[in-house]
A and B are shown apart, each in its own frame.
Chain A
Amino acid sequence: ETGVTQSPTHLIKTRGQQVTLRCSSQSGHNTVSWYQQALGQGPQFIFQYYREEENGRGNFPPRFSGLQFPNYSSELNVNALELDDSALYLCASGETGTGFVGYTFGSGTRLTVV
Chain B
Amino acid sequence: AQSVTQLGSHVSVSEGALVLLRCNYSSSVPPYLFWYVQYPNQGLQLLLKYTSAATLVKGINGFEAEFKKSETSFHLTKPSAHMSDAAEYFCAVSSTEGTYKYIFGTGTRLKVLA
Report which A residues bind B (CB closer than 8 A): 4, 6, 31, 33, 35, 41-45, 48, 50, 55-56, 58, 90, 92, 94, 96, 100-108, 110
Contacts and interface: CB of A to CB of B under 8 A. Distances in A.
26 contacts: A4-B43, A35-B102, A41-B106, A42-B106, A42-B107, A43-B44, A43-B90, A43-B102, A45-B102, A45-B103, A50-B99, A56-B99, A90-B44, A100-B32, A100-B51, A100-B94, A100-B96, A100-B100, A101-B49, A102-B51, A103-B102, A104-B46, A105-B36, A105-B46, A108-B42, A110-B41
Chain B binding surface, main DSSP class: loop
B44 A48 contact: no
Given A90-B43, A92-B44, A102-B49, 12 more contacts: A4-B43, A33-B101, A42-B90, A44-B104, A48-B99, A50-B99, A56-B101, A96-B100, A103-B102, A105-B44, A105-B45, A106-B43
A33 B99 CA distance: 10
B101 A45 contact: yes
A39 to B, nearest CB: 11
B25 interface: no
Interface of B: 32, 34, 36, 41-46, 49, 51, 90, 94, 96, 98-107
Main SS of chain A's interface residues? strand
